[in-house]
Amino acid sequence: MHFLSSNPQTLTSLVLSVIAAVKAQQCSLQFDGRVPGAFSAATFDTQNNIFSPKNVFGQGSSSLYCVDVARLDQAPCSYPVAGEQIFFDDPVQYSLLRSSLPLCFKCNISDVPWRAAQFDVNTVPVEVTISDQSIFAPSANNVQTGFRRAELLIASNTGTDASTTGVKTLHFSLMKDAQRPLNLSHEYQLVFLESNDFSTNQIVLKTGTILGQATANPDTLQLFGNVKQNPPQLLFSTPFRPGAFHNFAVTLDFNALNPPKQRTTQVFFSAGASPLQAVTQALKNDVSGQGQFHFGVLKKGLDGGNDIVKNGVQEAGINEGIIFGGIFEEDSSAGCVSLSP
């Protein structure tokens, strides 16, 4: 396993002088969201110590569409009886149906280049999909009709846990599903850290047409810093290419903002099976407020005015998804950042 120090020196100095010194180092894990190959769909609906069963979910959903990436076929889910039901359509296709849960997970995926997800060596990717029914309702009186969203939450990431203290590096990979393309006239949030008081996102990976900004090419992955800054700082961007995983590592320094110490964010990136490389130095970014990491698809509506959460317009017939892999977080307090398995 190769590692790179997160010390904010010049990138050339980092690459030349640090890798050899820490080549054999093992980074301690804060959490691990990589899914074992034997993981079944039913496991997502239990206390499984990987993802929380309390994912972002909707109310009143009675029909879901799950994806079998191996065949890229569409398989509708339905409720033959009340309550939770699990359907196993064949050995490689699992469909998770959970009361009022507008997202589906697929495991044991084959015939796609999933092994190109940098850190999925003995684990498999997971696809999160959204449909017309993916309407998040935190309460009966707070229904987010302007959004379509479904997200995975890490089981141990409570909002005040150690994953948002000290210096940590978040890893994740993501890939398009050609059979469930996004509508790039909309803005999407795919990965974000939401503060514990729900007031901001300290980092957020977006694609599509970003609201309030000129988007030259909406088919781009754009990683922004804290959105309470106006405009938010663009930390890194890269074309969102088809047929390959895009691998990210984001080192977050949550330590106190006391001069000369600053809260910072540094980005590492690669595509396919290539080792990660530093693509930024440690950039000043306010990551205070702790919170939870979200991995999924949050599609914002159009023409929402002053209340996009409830008034944003969503076209009918939504069948969209993103494939995730290699999700984990490691302790980088001693400068340890994994560049490859």
Quote the tokens at residue 57: 């979910």
User: pTM here?
Assistant: 0.80
DSSP letter string over 146-189?
Answer: TEEEEEEEBTT--BSSGGGSSEEEEEEEEEE-TTS---TTSEEE
Task: Note the pLDDT of residue 137.
Answer: 84
pLDDT tens-place string over residues 61-77: 322 222 233 322 333 33
CB 215 within 8 A of CB 207: no
For residue 250, CA distances in Å to 133, 253, 259, 310, 331 come to: 32, 10, 23, 31, 12
Rounded to whole angstroms, how far apart are CA atoms 61 and 133? 6
CATH class entry, domain 2-340:
mainly beta
Give the single-character DSSP code of 260.
T
Least confident of 78-82, 240-244, 318-322: 78-82
Least confident of 25-39, 83-97, 190-204: 83-97
pLDDT tens-place string over residues 103-158: 344 444 343 443 446 898 888 888 888 889 889 888 788 889 999 998 889 999 99
CB 282 within 8 A of CB 253: yes
Q: When comparing pLDDT for 310 and 63, which is higher?
A: 310
Domain limits, the chain: 2-340
Residue 48 pLDDT greater than 90, yes or no = no
Q: How far apart are the first and last CA of the chain?
A: 5
Beta bridge partners of 297: 150
Beta bridge partners of 136: 58
* pLDDT band at residue 261 under the 50/70/90 scheme: low
